[in-house]
Amino acid sequence: MSKCSLAVDIGASSGRLIAGSLKENRLELEEIHRFDNNLTRKGHHFCWDVDGLFNEIKTGIRLCKERGLHPQSIGIDTWAVDFVLLDEKNRLLTDAVAYRDSRTDGMMEEVFNLISKERLYLETGIQFQKFNTIYQLYSLKQSNPEILDKAKSFLMLPDYFNYLLTGKKTNEYTNATSTQLVNAFTKKWDKDLLDLLGINKDMFLEINPPGSQLGSLRQTLVDELGLDMKVILPATHDTGSAVVSVPEVDDTIYISSGTWSLIGVENPFPVCITKALDYNFTNEGGFDYQFRFLKNIMGLWMIQEVKRNYNDQYSFPELVELANKASNFQSKINVDDDRFLKPENMVEEIQSLCQETNQEVPSTPGEVAKCVFDSLGVSYQQAIDQIEEIYEKEFKKINIIGGGCQNKMLNQLIADKTKKEVLAGPVEATAIGNLVSQLISLGEMKDIKQARNIISQSFELTRFTANREEENVK
Ligand SMILES: Nc1ncnc2c1ncn2[C@@H]1O[C@H](COP(=O)(O)OP(=O)(O)OP(=O)(O)O)[C@@H](O)[C@H]1O
Ligand SMILES: C[C@H](O)[C@H](O)[C@@H](O)C(=O)CO
Ligand SMILES: [Mg+2]
């Protein structure tokens, strides 16, 4: 792999650097570096170790050099909503507090005293998650107003890593929309909303779309790493990049399955109707100014926590196998209850809700895992029904992308439940979407249509249909 581009995809549970290059109309990947990403406790808050994550990015770049790779470009994506603030000397004013931190408890309700839920949705089209950036900033305004007054730059996490790489500061569009502070129609920061909230609007930077080129690495980094490359904005919201890699979006509902399950469709315009508000769907910005009409479902975070509660005795495949063996266990819970956002102990929280709803309480790892997967299936079905009700149409296919598409039990459960064709893959959808955004920006691919054709030729998907054996498809 001579000429290549480098995708840095940092999820809420793990990160990876994947090199990609176009060879005879196929996208070839080479995994360079993989690392865990965990919340750390700093003072009273759960935070991300941004210094540690940036060191992992530099480690990955060094590994490229060791392998004789000289990436022409690099693009970074992460999970949404979280940010840092810089002062006039570009010094960090805040830790990278994590969205699962309790600092936003009650903030959404306080914001509704200033602007109605309906108006906020009509203007931004963004779902009501208690951890959205708008509520994080409102919390900061209550607890440390002096920090907001001193702030000169608001940078979401990929923006911050891009700043560390290049010295350039900008806000990328797809991730900016997840803040619930961008107007869905102007695609700009909603300055009237910021004034209403009393949040310093001058710290927000110019919003640039995926495909924008920021420049090359700072000279200090070139000297340190012995490589230089263009820094390009992919859809820096990881789900935005994941959706880019859905090979066939027409007539397809995607499930970006990782820490969260993001279930939705691609749309050319925001759908901010009352029913979408009532069902809490979001209209996050996508590549080429498409919209990601989707809903957050609690996702495999739950099984990540179950795994941790059992002291990592079981791998993910082993938990799936144990769940398969617990076939008689039938209790199901509402996975989207806020109690599962950051419980002390996920297993005990699941057991408590089964008890409170007079259901059999899971006692073995297999029963707990089966309860999680079955309950996710219920939530997926409900979201699919809501999407089809809003669109007044039946979608024929479901495409599960991301690490969670390796959970064959869940894939089959979705096919059996929905009676739809379920396609699983690509696993590294986010990194692939990140890479093709760079290749389009560099002119190596014409547009997202061609990119999706190349993706469908490059990666094998697995098809699941109701009560039938899985099969591989090209
Ligand atoms: N071999 C496997 N079998 C079954 N499930 C798996 C397997 N490998 C990964 N998973 C599931 O995929 C999930 C991780 O998916 P992924 O790697 O896409 O998440 P991430 O990128 O770290 O986080 P984010 O969702 O924030 O992007 C795990 O929580 C696990 O449940
Ligand atoms: C916190 C957000 O809801 C989360 O990042 C989600 O948008 C996502 O993309 C997870 O990968
Ligand atoms: Mg991910």
pLDDT digits (tens, 9 = 90+) for 293-335: 999 999 999 999 999 999 999 999 999 999 999 999 999 999 9
- Say whether 96 counts as a known binding-site residue: no
Pick the last residue of a domain from 232, 256, 291: 232
Structurally, the chain folds into a number of domains equal to: 2
By C-alpha distance, which of 117, 118, 148 is closest to 130? 117
| Same-domain check for residues 9 and 105 | yes
- Say whether 14 counts as a known binding-site residue: yes
Ligand 2 atom nearest residue 296's Cα: 3
Residue in the block written with tokens 């692939």: 432
By C-alpha distance, which of 256, 211, 274, 278 is closest to 75? 211
| Same-domain check for residues 137 and 204 | yes
Assess if residue 376 is contained within a domain: yes
Assess if residue 286 is contained within a domain: yes
Name the 3-class secondary structure at 124. Answer: helix
**pLDDT for position 335:** 98
For the four alpha carbons of 473, 256, 458 and 317, in that order, the dihedral sign comes to negative
Assess if residue 430 is contained within a domain: no
Name the 3-class secondary structure at 150. Answer: helix
**pLDDT for position 474:** 66
Assess if residue 436 is contained within a domain: no
- Say whether 16 counts as a known binding-site residue: yes
Residue in the block written with tokens 């603030």: 85
| Same-domain check for residues 221 and 311 | no
By C-alpha distance, which of 340, 427, 352, 423 is closest to 376? 340
Pick the last residue of a domain from 210, 232, 254: 232
Task: Enter the tokens of residue 136.
Answer: 């994080």
| Same-domain check for residues 206 and 259 | no
Pick the last residue of a domain from 187, 210, 232: 232
| Mutational test site, ligand 1, from 13, 100, 302, max ligand atoms within 8 Å of CB | 13
pLDDT digits (tens, 9 = 90+) for 234-251: 999 999 999 999 999 999
Residues with CB under 5 A from ligand 3 (ion): 11, 238, 258, 430
**pLDDT for position 470:** 79
Catalytic residue IDs? 238
Nearest ligand atom owner, CA of 15 = 1
Q: Which domain holds residue 178?
A: 5-232
Order of all β-strands in the sheet with 230-232 = 26-36, 14-23, 5-10, 73-78, 230-232, 213-216
Q: Residue 142 C-alpha to ligand 3 middle, in angstroms? A: 32
- Say whether 312 counts as a known binding-site residue: no
Ligand 2: residue whose CA is nearest its atom 11: 79
pLDDT digits (tens, 9 = 90+) for 79-98: 999 999 999 999 999 999 99
Name the 3-class secondary structure at 439. Answer: helix
Terminal Cα distance for the chain, rounded: 23
| Same-domain check for residues 309 and 252 | yes
Assess if residue 62 is contained within a domain: yes
Q: Residue 32 C-alpha to ligand 1 middle, in angstroms? A: 18
Q: Residue 402 C-alpha to ligand 1 middle, in angstroms? A: 7
Assess if residue 98 is contained within a domain: yes
**pLDDT for position 37:** 97
Assess if residue 434 is contained within a domain: no
| Same-domain check for residues 259 and 192 | no
- Rounded to an integer, what distance in angstroms lies between the CA atom of residue 301 and that of residue 315? 14
Ligand 1: residue whose CA is nearest its atom 5: 407
User: Residues with Cβ within 6 A of ligand 1?
Assistant: 11-14, 79, 238, 258-260, 300, 303-304, 316-317, 320, 402-404, 406-407
Ligand 2: residue whose CA is nearest its atom 7: 80
Strands 282-285 and 171-172: unpaired
Phi-psi region of 227 (alpha: psi -120 to 50; beta: other; left: phi over 0): beta
| Same-domain check for residues 206 and 69 | yes
Binding site membership of 79 for ligand 2 (Cβ less than 6 Å): yes
**pLDDT for position 1:** 58
| Same-domain check for residues 391 and 471 | yes
| Same-domain check for residues 210 and 318 | no
| Same-domain check for residues 255 and 343 | yes
| Same-domain check for residues 204 and 322 | no
**pLDDT for position 213:** 98
| Same-domain check for residues 187 and 103 | yes
Task: Report the percentage of the chain scoring pLDDT > 90.
Answer: 97
pLDDT digits (tens, 9 = 90+) for 408-461: 999 999 999 999 999 999 999 999 999 999 999 999 999 999 999 999 999 999
CATH number for position 326: 3.30.420.40
**Do 71 and 29 contact (CB within 8 A), yes or no?**
no
Assess if residue 273 is contained within a domain: yes
77 forms bridges with which residues in the sheet?
A: 9
Binding site membership of 296 for ligand 2 (Cβ less than 6 Å): yes
Nearest ligand atom owner, CA of 81 = 2
Ligand 2 atom nearest residue 99's Cα: 1
Ligand 2: residue whose CA is nearest its atom 1: 80
Measure the CA dihedral 94/97/101/102, to 10°: 20
Question: Which residues of the chain are under the pLDDT cut of 50?
Answer: none
